[in-house]
A and B are shown apart, each in its own frame.
Chain A
Amino acid sequence: MNPEDFESQLRQQSLRSLPSEWRRVILATAAKNVRSTAAAPVPQRSGLGGLAALFWPHPGAWAGLAATWVAIAALNHASANQEPVAVAKNGPPTSPALILVLREQQQELLRLVMPQESEAVEPPSGFMPRPRGSRTGSFAWV
């Protein structure tokens, strides 16, 4: 057996051909990877991108925390709405006389709180403004 002949004989054995249907699938999958890489958003570290980056590592934990806060807010809102209703229902009926007394107390309180304002608004009783020319010399030069 001549070594060169043997190698030549081996070289002449034609290999199986590549299945033609692979071309479409392989190139389509590769093209998808090109597009997904090109369209991938640049990671942001501010604004919504930063929030997303912050929340992403433990989304379940953050969702649970958010749900707890929503529940607390709902309970708080519900109890705030119910309180005045309960007081009104349980309190004694208001009489017209009581309303009058309350109004008088309110007016008295206003007088006590703002006495100077009411005085400042009232003009002095003895003063009547006159034209400049008709003024008499009621003051002296010092």
Chain B
Amino acid sequence: MPAQPDLAQLYDEHAPVLFGFLLNLTRHEADTRDLLQELFIKLARNPDLLDGVREPRAFLLRLAHNLAIDLMRRQGTRHRHYEQLAAESVALFAPAENPDTAEFRQRLTAALDELPPDQRAVVHLKLWAGLTFEEIAATLELSPNTAASRYRYGIDKLRARLRPLYDQIH
């Protein structure tokens, strides 16, 4: 019988990154919690899942991404997603005391939501999970070139969307 992974250690090391990624994909706190719970249940039920995995973080991000995609398919999703976003504004970034920073984060949250999920996932993994294009490609099961082009498209859209505010602040 394979040894049970140390779930508490895995949680402490990787859950914050998984949380940010899942929250950016789902834009719903309860869904994010459910997916994080589902991921750890999966790890508990399949102790050999991490056997031979060299980069646990990339592997867990891939699991999280797959779970999020499944959830969005189940929920049938974009209509519900936009309605939900209209009803509630999920806080993706930490609160900021500086009003300019607070506004920039609010606009950035909205701009990220306008990205297609595949571009948003790549942008998130590159900027806030610190993965290379090779790691992103392995995580999302893409080629590195596709990962890089999706990132470039996503960044261009964000820049176009945030340029006025960015120029104003700087």
Contacts and interface: CB of A to CB of B under 8 A. Distances in A.
A3 B128 contact: no
Interface string B153-165: 0010011001100
Given A27-B8, A31-B44, A34-B4, A18 B104 contact: no
A26 B108 contact: no
User: Chain A interface mostly helix, strand, loop or mixed?
Assistant: helix
Contacts of A1: 159, 163, 166-167
Given A13-B93, A17-B94, A26-B11, A6 B127 contact: no
A7 B44 contact: no
Given A1-B167, A10-B158, A11-B127, A27 B94 contact: no
Nearest to B130: A11
B59 interface: no
Contacts of B108: 10, 13
A33 interface: yes
Contacts of B41: 29-30, 33
Given A1-B167, A11-B127, A33-B41, A16 B7 contact: no
Given A14-B93, A30-B41, A3 B7 contact: no
B127 A34 contact: no
B166 A9 contact: yes
A26 B36 contact: yes
Interface of A: 1, 3, 5-7, 9-11, 13-19, 22-23, 25-27, 29-31, 33-34, 37
Interface of B: 4, 7-8, 11-12, 15-16, 19-20, 23, 33, 36-37, 40-41, 43-45, 91-94, 101, 104-105, 108, 127-128, 155, 158-159, 162-163, 166-167, 170
10 contacts: A6-B159, A15-B93, A15-B94, A17-B94, A19-B33, A22-B15, A29-B37, A30-B43, A31-B44, A33-B45
Given A5-B170, A13-B108, A26-B36, 9 more contacts: A14-B93, A16-B23, A18-B16, A19-B33, A22-B33, A23-B11, A33-B45, A34-B4, A37-B44
